[in-house]
């Protein structure tokens, strides 16, 4: 099918139109982030030890930590990707708000109490206490590789948007923003990370709300958004099909995404920020605010997607070739709807950049902690002075940041690797979450079971992801997208009607058709299944030698009863032997 349409406007109006006010907003955000790092590096309360540098002297506030958690979780991929997801596939993804509530409850009662009571600098130190050093090192290596792959993507995506809007060269943008982020992260430690995240979180919210307000004005109000989204099939949310082969359903989003986001509960960057608070009760309050903030920003991003569809419900910019990729939709939308308002493009740029900086700084800081505690300190024969340790951590931040800058250029050359790199994050996430959960929830589990389970999970999920990506690349598996049209564009030339892709055909291997939302769940399940079997076939750990705090509270009671039972049994045996000896 084709259509003879005439576009009444010039698509080139979305070309770079930033002015001095836009650049002012952009520069103020970068300058403010730098000044925060300089302040905490030179004039703030000095962090003399690694724990103070990484935990901020346990003097951080509840709200700043919560906002920092939200900011570092909401990357540029979320800011630009979620609206495009809603535009193309509908509002099913909005169900992640239910996942956020479940994640908050589970983290509050099962994971956070363990980490807060142990007060570990590196979360991977837990695996050494629970199992052995080999398990800790393996988990640390996985985390390091995952972050080194993820951080360049986080920087690349918003840099692409900034280049599209501003006209600046992508290769000039990425080094500048990366160097500034590395500088204030290295100089100010976790305090600079938290407070810059707070600033950047505010900028993200303000810029997103400004875009929504302009969208309302342009479309004609909420009723128009609702009606056009409903007529376009974008509001079909409660799809209860239990099939794991559907891309998104109620179950895959709520259950699958809940397990995926549980990785935040054992994430070094997240746990490290909770440990900057002075008490567990304050950490729990910050967790509540974090969940509320996460739901709020996800909802803003999802609603922005509905606004975009309402605006282009009869003139899809992908069909008209105004843009070439879905990830350009949000940038195109902002420049289209709000370009005539001075400064709004700059505010949008600042919001996108804030999302990237907050995620990058948090991950660099956590990498510094992980690499120092898990790899460098154990190699040093003599005790390391606190000043020396701090200098080493700062050097790690600079070096890893430099590696990430170089990797951004590789990502730019291999654009198709973006989806694969994000999938790899899900693979390692399942193995990592499985290791921590196996240790906290299964007292009978031993180091052999943990090692076998994690290796099996990585091999299995790598196979599944590689096979899935191959099937997608060769066209044997396609995802169904919701229909769009260009009837309202007014084109005077023929535009071929885009064919709607069918779902995966039956000749594709069954595991390759499983929804990506279940990757972390499957990876964790493999850790538990293999880990339990191997642990049952080998020698169990000695619970008497274990700290009950290594287990989640509901399991901890069981372990303490077992230990008390051992003590009573040994006391009775000693008393019996004494009596026999006396007689």
Of 28-32, 508-512, 530-534, which range is least confident? 28-32
Confidence of residue 10 (pLDDT cuts 50, 70, 90): very low
Other residues' Cβ atoms within 10 Å of the Cβ of residue 395:
14
Residue 161 belongs to what H/E stretch? helix 133-166
If DSSP codes are grouped into helix, strand and coil, which group holds residue 493?
A: strand
Closest CA relative to residue 437, chosen from 534, 526, 363, 560:
526
Q: Tell me the helix, strand and coil percentages in the chain, rounded to 5.
A: 75, 0, 25
Torsion of CA 547, 550, 551, 552, to 10 degrees: 130
CATH topology for 19-412?
Answer: Sodium/glucose cotransporter (1.20.1730)
Mean pLDDT for the stretch of residues 397-406: 78
When pLDDT is averaged across residues 239-253 and rounded to a whole number, the result is: 87
As a whole number of angstroms, the distance between CA 164 and CA 324 comes to 12
Report which listed range, 129-133, 159-163, 414-418, 542-546, is most confident. Answer: 129-133
Burial of 517 (0-12, 13-18, 19+ CB in 10 A): buried
CB 464 within 8 A of CB 514: yes
| 3-class secondary-structure state, position 4 | strand
Q: What is the pTM of this model?
A: 0.79
74 DSSP 8-state letter: S
pLDDT band, residue 45 (cuts 50/70/90)? low
| Most confident of the following: 300-304, 399-403, 421-425, 557-561 | 300-304
* Per-residue pLDDT at 536: 95
- DSSP characters for 97-158? HHHHHHHHHHIIIIIHHHHHHHT-SSTTHHHHHHT-HHHHHHHHHHHHHHHHHHHHHHHHHH
Burial class of 381 by CB neighbour count within 10 A (0 to 12, 13 to 18, 19+): exposed
Q: State yes or no: pLDDT of 72 exceeds 80.
A: no
Higher-confidence residue of 532 and 3: namely 532
User: CA 257 → CA 242, 508, 520, distances in Å?
Assistant: 15, 24, 8
Q: What is the pLDDT at residue 474?
A: 73
Domain limits of the chain? 19-412, 554-583
**Is residue 414 very low, low, confident or very high in pLDDT (cuts 50, 70, 90)?**
very low
Mean pLDDT, rounded, of the chain: 77
How sure is the predictor about 186, in pLDDT bands with cuts at 50, 70 and 90?
low
pLDDT of 539 over the 50 cut = yes
Q: pLDDT digits over 212-221, tens only?
A: 888 888 888 8
Q: What is the mean pLDDT of residues 502-525?
A: 79
């Amino acid at each position: 099918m084709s259509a003879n349409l005439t576009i009444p406007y010039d698509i080139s109006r979305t070309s770079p139109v930033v002015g001095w006010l836009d650049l002012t907003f952009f520069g103020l955000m970068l300058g403010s982030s730098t000044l925060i790092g300089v302040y905490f590096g030179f004039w703030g309360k000095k962090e003399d030890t690694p724990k103070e540098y990484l935990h901020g002297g346990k003097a951080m506030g509840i709200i700043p930590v919560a906002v920092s958690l939200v900011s570092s979780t909401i990357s540029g991929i979320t800011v630009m990707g979620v609206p495009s997801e809603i535009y193309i596939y509908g509002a099913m993804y909005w169900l992640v708000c239910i996942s956020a509530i479940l994640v908050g409850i589970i983290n509050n009662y099962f994971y956070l109490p363990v980490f807060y009571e142990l007060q570990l600098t590196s979360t991977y130190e837990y695996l050494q206490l629970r199992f052995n050093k080999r398990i800790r090192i393996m988990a640390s290596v996985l985390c390091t590789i995952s972050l080194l792959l993820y951080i360049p993507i986080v920087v690349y995506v918003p840099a692409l948007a900034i280049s599209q809007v501003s006209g600046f060269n992508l290769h000039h943008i990425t080094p500048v923003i990366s160097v500034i982020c590395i500088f204030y992260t290295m100089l100010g430690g976790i305090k600079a990370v938290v407070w810059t995240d707070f600033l950047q979180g505010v900028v993200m919210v303000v810029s997103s709300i400004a875009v929504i307000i302009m969208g309302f004005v342009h479309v004609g109000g909420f009723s128009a958004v609702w009606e056009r989204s409903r007529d376009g099939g974008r509001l079909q949310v409660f799809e209860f099909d239990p099939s794991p082969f559907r891309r998104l359903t109620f179950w895959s989003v709520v259950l699958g995404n809940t397990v995926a986001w549980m990785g935040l509960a054992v994430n070094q960057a997240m746990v490290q920020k909770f440990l900057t608070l002075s008490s567990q009760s304050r950490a729990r309050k910050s967790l509540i605010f974090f969940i509320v903030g996460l739901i709020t920003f996800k909802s803003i991003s999802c609603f922005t997607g509905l606004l975009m569809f309402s605006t282009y419900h009869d003139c899809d910019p992908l069909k008209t070739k105004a843009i070439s990729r879905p990830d350009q939709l949000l940038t195109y939308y902002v420049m289209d709807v709000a370009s005539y308002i001075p400064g709004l493009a700059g505010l949008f740029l600042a919001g996108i950049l804030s999302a990237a900086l907050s995620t990058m700084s948090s991950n660099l800081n956590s990498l510094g902690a992980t690499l120092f505690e898990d790899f460098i300190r154990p190699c040093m024969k003599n005790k390391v002075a606190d000043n020396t340790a701090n200098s080493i951590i700062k050097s790690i931040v600079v070096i890893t940041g430099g590696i990430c800058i170089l990797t951004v250029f590789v990502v730019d050359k291999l654009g198709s690797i973006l989806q694969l790199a994000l999938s790899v994050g899900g693979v390692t996430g399942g193995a990592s979450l499985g290791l921590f959960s196996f240790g906290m929830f299964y007292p009978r589990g031993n180091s052999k079971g943990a090692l076998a389970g994690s290796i099996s999970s990585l091999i299995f999920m790598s196979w599944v992801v590689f096979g899935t990506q191959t099937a997608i690349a060769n066209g044997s598996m396609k995802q169904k997208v919701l229909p769009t049209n260009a009837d309202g564009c007014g084109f005077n030339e023929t535009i071929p009607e885009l064919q709607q892709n069918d779902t995966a055909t039956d000749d594709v291997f069954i595991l390759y058709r499983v929804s990506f939302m279940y990757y972390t769940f499957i990876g964790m399940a493999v850790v538990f299944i293999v880990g339990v079997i191997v642990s049952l076939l080998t020698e169990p750990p000695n619970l008497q030698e274990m700290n009950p705090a290594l287990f989640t509270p509901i399991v901890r009671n069981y372990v303490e009863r077992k230990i008390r039972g051992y003590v009573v049994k040994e006391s009775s045996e000693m008393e019996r032997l004494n009596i026999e000896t006396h007689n």
